[in-house]
Structure 1
Amino acid sequence: MAQHFLLSAASRTISLKAVLRMDNAEAWATFRRLRWPETQGEPVCPHCGGCICYDVARGGSPRYRCRACRRDFSPTSGTLFAYHKLHVRDYLAAIVIFVNAVKGISSLQLARDLGVSAKAAWVLGHKLREAMASEMKGAMVGGAGAVVEVDGCYVGGHIRPENRKEDRKDRRLAQHQTGKRRVVVAVRERDGRTLTSVFRSEEESAAFIRARVERGSTIHADEAASWDDLRARYAMKRINHKEAFSFADACTNQAESFFARLRRAEWGQHHHISGLYLHRYAAEMAWREDHRRDANGTLFSRLVARVAACAQSVDFTGRWQRRAG
């Protein structure tokens, strides 16, 4: 029997041990190489794009001055790691831990692995999720001849049943719910990428799907009436899950595969996901599902590059130094 990819040496091209053995200079060289691949790690001014820069560091972290605009910057300037408090090696180690966790990792576990506070680990985790989500920002899926699967998964709003049977209520009825329940809608192209968004109901997602799925696509969905409005724009195939998981080439199995990963992340790692941050966790799981066949070294390089390409986080930079809105 052929060996599964995740059990092979090809899936392990970087390790936490290798990162922790780096000294400060090696860690900075790795970050620079992934931030500025066009110049093989030579600094490029984030303010004017100038390539002629010289070192003005006086010990500690590297620092450069642009010859063109005369402004100083560091390798993390203008990135998600701007104004960083930890050593760069700690950030690289956090990324290795993050990409190796196939079902995600809780902030408490990340805090214990890195030896930082839970607040610091929480912010760091959300910055990495922001970098993951940026990979599909504004992207479209589908196109002529492409198959796109659409489905929804309701998350949150759990109501604990009463102890005595006679006191229990029908939790399916709207009047007995908390109003916190949200649906994650996944739009997944066969052998392609996954787009996610969060809504109060599946019906609200029609505009999102029309905006992000190219014309000419064939959409596969279940028999829920929520998807009926898509017939006017796309060819559709429907599957009744009460009868079969797939029938006559119609199925939503790849969308369900994504939801399985999201559910296991919620149950096994986070235990509870706030509706305010649900879209971030959904985007993280979509990134993990789309790159599940990539080696962990590739995932590491890809995520570090996305961190460097993203601007300073509006939501999480200085999160605990100011009052959260």
Structure 2
Amino acid sequence: MVTNAKKGISACQVHREIRGSYKTSWRMVHHIRKAMGQVLSKNPLKAIIEIDEAYVHASPKIKVKSKRGRGTLKTPIVGVYNRDKDRIYATIARPNEIGQKLSGKQLLGILEQVASKDSIIMTDEFRSYNILDRRGYDHRKINHSEYQYAFNGIHVNNVEAFWSIFKRGLVGSFHHVSGKYLQNYIDEFTYRFNHRKDPNIFYKLLDKMIR
């Protein structure tokens, strides 16, 4: 169920399907999510790369007035998509020691985990990405503020497609996600996205869990 549900499946729904106690269903689902996170590869590779950010409420039940966009109080998440491998890596971007979110150094640190320096990097116009130019990357931008979304192959549409799936899942399937477990949910959606064309998605995960 967890591997096949595009928008995710909650512990409540698993509880209804298999019966038993809700506590058992909750533990089982979180064990599966942890296994999904362990499967993800972070080897730096040369590729055409897209990097973009999204913002989510770690606890949607809490009503907090927040700005839109990059001034928001929501939790920032960074996604790095490898076009050559059709794979995405996504992680929470914690504020730095002075409380700054999504600094250039922070974004660069995330990028370096999954992409080598000779990669081609696609971003939008967010100024924190200017660090890529200073560090000598082949950096190509699309300017969303001027209503550009794709030009000569430059875009971050694949990451944005993943954000759309992830956000719909959070709202539609889970309703309330604790910040403590947010990365586990990200790993679940990442694993499912990366293996969406693999008919053996379930068996590969099962093999990982029993090792």
- TM-score (normalizing by structure 1): 0.56
- SS of corresponding position for 1:202: coil
Distance (Å, rounded) in 2 between the aligned partners of 1:272 and 1:202? 24
CA apart distance, 1:299: 1.2
Given the superposition, is the C-alpha separation of residues 141 and 289 from structure 1 closer, same or farther in structure 2, using an over 3 Å criterion?
farther
Equivalent AA in structure 1 for residue 45 of structure 2 = G
- Structure 2 unaligned regions, length at least 5: 95-100
Which residue number in structure 2 is paired with residue 287 of structure 1? 191
Contact 1:142–1:148 under 8 Å retained in 2: no
Q: Is residue 79 of structure 2 the alignment partner of residue 186 of structure 1?
A: yes
- In the TM superposition, 1:98-113 aligns within 5 A as 98-113=2-17
Distance (Å, rounded) in 2 between the aligned partners of 1:107 and 1:122? 5
Equivalent AA in structure 1 for residue 89 of structure 2 = L
Contact 2:44–2:112 under 8 Å retained in 1: no
Q: Is residue 91 of structure 2 the alignment partner of residue 197 of structure 1?
A: yes
Equivalent AA in structure 1 for residue 50 of structure 2 = E
Which residue number in structure 2 is paired with residue 235 of structure 1? 138
* Deviation readout 1:226-277 (Å, 9 max, x if unpaired): 2111221421110112312111221001111111111111011001222211
Contact 2:122–2:139 under 8 Å retained in 1: yes
Q: Is residue 148 of structure 2 the alignment partner of residue 247 of structure 1?
A: no
- SS of corresponding position for 1:278: helix
In angstroms, what is the RMSD of aligned CA positions?
Answer: 2.1
Contact 2:44–2:113 under 8 Å retained in 1: no
Identity within the alignment, %:
30
- TM-score (normalizing by structure 2): 0.85
The structure with the larger Rg is 1
Q: Which runs of 4+ in 1 moved over 4 A?
A: none
Number of matched pairs = 196
Equivalent AA in structure 2 for residue 199 of structure 1 = A
Which residue number in structure 1 is paired with residue 43 of structure 2? 140
